């Protein structure tokens, strides 16, 4: 496969040329009271024409737009398996007990104020986040070679990391897996990087295209940035084995490429926080450098709090300090400094041994419920004799099953069964419950039967 460029000119180029056009236009210098008065009295203004009338309606987001469509559907049997958000057996969003406890603590503490955080966020949160992902005994942390900044959840961490690389790293191409989370190419392109793909998934085996991955990274330029899903690959649910990770690590290091880990599901893949960080820790253990974007949306259920962290592991403490000073320059004009509430919840949980333990128990319960949904759906399809091999449902891990259903089958299931999912056939197992499994199995059965 030939990886392709997603765009010819980078967005930062485009932003700069738009700015240049504006500055060179004759009106730019004279936007004063006189100009606006004459505009106000002009006939086009009186007719009510909008200066935005040329703006075309943009399509809904491929993932978040599924929820928009779902919300409009009046059917009582409708089911939203689009967005990766955890639901209980009753189909309700879940606020973890330990999160409620932490929030109560915060409310009771009258000494707390609402001052701005530093540009890098809550310092204690940053330290604890680094420990969580790299391990408390990580040499990189002990040697002060890691800089961690609080960002707006996983997405914001990826964006800040991308902008930092566009400004300060010698290679501006990032290789992302095909397929990947739909926002990755947009985030990195707008950060000013050029996006190319490496092969990842083989539809024939519904597993990893390991050979293709090795070939594509092997022929990617020396020093290229490589985005890796730390665990629970989205959308495929297919992760490399420990041995495959080791080969990937050796290849990336031998090509002096720069790994950028996206860790949105720590604890969700296996139910164990350390096991799900293993891929990252093996790259840190070799002494090399890497970036890590961490999200607390899924594993603490803090979706709307927008709390996450970007860590950059460097060779020396001195470099890490300088890198942090530049990260501040990326963040300051973007959103100045991050919000305080979510980070305070996370810090309260991570610093207290009892609350931490309670969190791991609740996290494991979420992961186990998802695994149990996999088995129930697999059994339900087998019981119906649905044509095809559905064993990938129980082999894949994390929040999603990449069913193999095509976009027509998905459209059919939405129209006839009011089941909402992304058009690539991904379903969020976390949105399923024992009560809704039969409805989904009926829909899949009918969709598959139609096609044969
Ligand atoms: N990285 C990956 C691999 C993800 O799957 C997601 C969320 C993120 C980063 C960003 O998560 P934050 O909420 O910014 O921490 N993907 C989910 C959630 C919906 C979305 O697309 O944002 C999904 O359904 O794919």
Tell me the pLDDT band of 242, cut-offs 50, 70 and 90.
Answer: very high
* CA dist list (Å): 124 to 129, 130, 148, 331: 8, 10, 10, 19
| Digit-coded pLDDT (tens) for 358-413 | 999 999 999 999 999 999 999 999 999 999 999 999 999 999 999 999 999 999 99
Q: Is the pLDDT of residue 45 over 90?
A: no
Q: Is the pLDDT of residue 223 over 80?
A: yes
CB 182 within 8 A of CB 206: no
Residue ID of nearest Cα to ligand 1 atom 23:
84
Query: How, if at all, do strands 290-295 and 258-263 pair?
Result: parallel
**What does the mean pLDDT of the chain come to?**
91
Tell me the pLDDT band of 16, cut-offs 50, 70 and 90.
Answer: very low
Query: How, if at all, do strands 173-178 and 194-199 pair?
Result: parallel
Count CB-CB contacts under 10 A for residue 125. 27
Most ligand 1 atoms within 8 A of CB, residue of 155, 236, 239 to mutate: 155
Quote the pLDDT of residue 400.
94
Retrieve residue 266's tokens.
């720590």
* Dihedral over Cα of 7, 11, 14, 16: its sign: negative
Q: Is the pLDDT of residue 219 over 60?
A: yes
- Which of the residue ranges 62-71, 178-187, 314-323 would you say has the lowest mean pLDDT? 62-71
* Catalytic center residues: 181, 262, 298
* Residues 320-346: b if buried by 16+ CB within 10 A, e if exposed: beebbeebeebbeeeeebbbbebbbbb
Please state the pTM of the whole predicted model. Answer: 0.90
Give the distance from CA 91 to its chain's centroid. Answer: 23
In the chain, the percentage of residues whose pLDDT exceeds 90 is 87
Q: Is the pLDDT of residue 12 over 70?
A: no
Bond from prior residue into 235 cis (ω within 30 degrees of 0): yes
The fold adopted by the segment(s) 64-94+368-451 is 3.90.1150
Closest ligand 1 atom to residue 61 Cα is 21
CB 287 within 8 A of CB 319: no
Tell me the pLDDT band of 444, cut-offs 50, 70 and 90.
Answer: very high
CB 223 within 8 A of CB 258: yes
Residue ID of nearest Cα to ligand 1 atom 9:
154
| Digit-coded pLDDT (tens) for 252-262 | 999 999 999 99
Retrieve residue 391's tokens.
């064993």
- What lines the ligand 1 site, CB under 6 Å? 63, 83-84, 153-155, 181, 183, 229, 234, 262, 264, 295, 297, 303, 308
Give the distance from CA 248 to its chain's centroid. Answer: 21
Quote the pLDDT of residue 27.
41
Place of tokens 């606020």: 95
Quote the pLDDT of residue 450.
83
Across the range 116-128, mean pLDDT stands at 98
The region, left, alpha or beta by phi > 0 then psi within -120 to 50, assigned to residue 256 is: left
Give the domain ranges of the chain: 64-94+368-451, 116-351
Quote the pLDDT of residue 13.
54
CB 216 within 8 A of CB 248: no
Q: Distance between CA atoms of 415 and 193, rounded to whole angstroms? A: 39
- State the distance from the centre of ligand 1 to the C-alpha of 449, rounded, in angstroms: 32
Across the range 173-193, mean pLDDT stands at 98
**Angle between the 353-384 and 341-351 helix axes, to the nearest 10 degrees?**
100
Q: Is the pLDDT of residue 142 over 90?
A: yes
Q: Is the pLDDT of residue 26 over 50?
A: no
φ, ψ of residue 329 to 5 degrees: the values are -70, -25
Q: Is the pLDDT of residue 126 over 50?
A: yes
* Residues 182-193: b if buried by 16+ CB within 10 A, e if exposed: bbbbebbbbbbb
Q: Is the pLDDT of residue 36 over 60?
A: no
Count CB-CB contacts under 10 A for residue 435. 10
CA angle 245, 248, 250 (to 5 degrees): 110
Quote the pLDDT of residue 23.
41
Retrieve residue 307's tokens.
């709390």
Q: Which three-class secondary structure string do you get for 212-232?
A: HHHHHHHHCCCCCEEEEECCC
Residue ID of nearest Cα to ligand 1 atom 25:
84
Give the distance from CA 103 to its chain's centroid. Answer: 25
CB 197 within 8 A of CB 219: no
The region, left, alpha or beta by phi > 0 then psi within -120 to 50, assigned to residue 338 is: beta
Helices (H), 1-60: 11-24, 33-41, 43-46
3-state SS of the chain: helix, strand, coil percent to 5? 50, 15, 35
Q: Is the pLDDT of residue 115 over 90?
A: yes
* Higher pLDDT, residue 313 or 4: 313
What is the three-class DSSP state of 302? coil
Across the range 262-284, mean pLDDT stands at 96
Tell me the pLDDT band of 7, cut-offs 50, 70 and 90.
Answer: very low
Quote the pLDDT of residue 109.
96
DSSP 221: P
Most ligand 1 atoms within 8 A of CB, residue of 264, 291, 302 to mutate: 264
**Beta carbons within 8 Å of 325's beta carbon, 6+ residues apart:** none
Quote the pLDDT of residue 25.
44
Pick the CATH number of 116-351 from 3.30.530.20, 3.30.1540.20, 3.30.70.940, 3.40.640.10: 3.40.640.10
């Amino acid at each position: 496969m030939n990886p392709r460029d997603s765009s010819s000119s980078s967005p930062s180029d485009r932003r700069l040329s738009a700015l240049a056009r504006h500055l060179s236009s004759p009106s730019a210098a004279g936007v004063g009271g006189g100009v606006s008065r004459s505009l106000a009295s002009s006939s086009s203004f009186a007719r009510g024409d909008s200066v935005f009338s040329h703006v075309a309606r943009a399509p809904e987001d491929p993932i978040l737009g599924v929820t928009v469509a779902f919300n409009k559907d009046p059917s009582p049997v409708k089911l939203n398996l689009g967005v990766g958000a955890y639901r209980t057996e009753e189909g309700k969003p879940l606020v973890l007990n330990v999160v409620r406890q932490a929030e109560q603590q915060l409310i009771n503490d009258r000494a707390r104020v609402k001052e701005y955080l530093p540009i890098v966020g809550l310092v204690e949160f940053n330290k604890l986040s680094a420990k969580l992902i790299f391990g408390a005994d990580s040499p990189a942390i002990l040697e002060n070679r890691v800089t961690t900044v609080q960002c707006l959840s996983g997405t914001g961490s990826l964006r800040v990391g991308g902008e930092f690389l566009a400004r300060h790293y010698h290679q501006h191409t990032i290789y992302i897996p095909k397929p990947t989370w739909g926002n990755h190419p947009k985030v990195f392109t707008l950060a000013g990087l050029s996006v190319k793909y490496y092969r990842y998934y083989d539809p024939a085996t519904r597993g990893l295209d390991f050979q293709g991955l090795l070939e594509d990274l092997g022929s990617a330029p020396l020093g290229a940035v490589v985005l890796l899903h730390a665990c629970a690959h989205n959308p495929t649910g297919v992760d490399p084995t420990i041995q495959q990770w080791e080969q990937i690590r050796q290849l990336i290091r031998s090509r002096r490429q720069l790994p950028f880990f996206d860790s949105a599901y720590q604890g969700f893949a296996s139910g164990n926080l350390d096991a799900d960080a293993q891929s990252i820790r093996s790259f840190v253990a070799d002494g090399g450098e890497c970036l890590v974007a961490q999200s607390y949306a899924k594993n603490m259920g803090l979706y709307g709090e927008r709390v996450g962290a970007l860590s950059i592991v460097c060779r020396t403490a001195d470099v890490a300090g300088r890198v942090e000073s530049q990260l501040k320059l990326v963040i300051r004009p973007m959103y100045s400094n991050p919000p305080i509430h979510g980070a305070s919840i996370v810090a309260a949980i991570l610093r207290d041994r009892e609350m931490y333990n309670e969190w791991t128990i609740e996290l494991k319960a979420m992961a186990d419920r998802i695994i149990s949904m996999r088995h129930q759906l697999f059994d339900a399809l087998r019981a119906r004799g649905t044509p095809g091999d559905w064993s990938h449902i129980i082999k894949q891990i994390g929040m999603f099953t990449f069913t193999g259903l095509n976009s027509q089958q998905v459209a059919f299931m939405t129209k006839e069964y009011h089941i909402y999912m992304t058009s690539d056939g991904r379903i969020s197992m976390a949105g399923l419950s024992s009560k809704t499994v039969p409805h989904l199995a009926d829909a899949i059965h009918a969709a598959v039967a139609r096609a044969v």
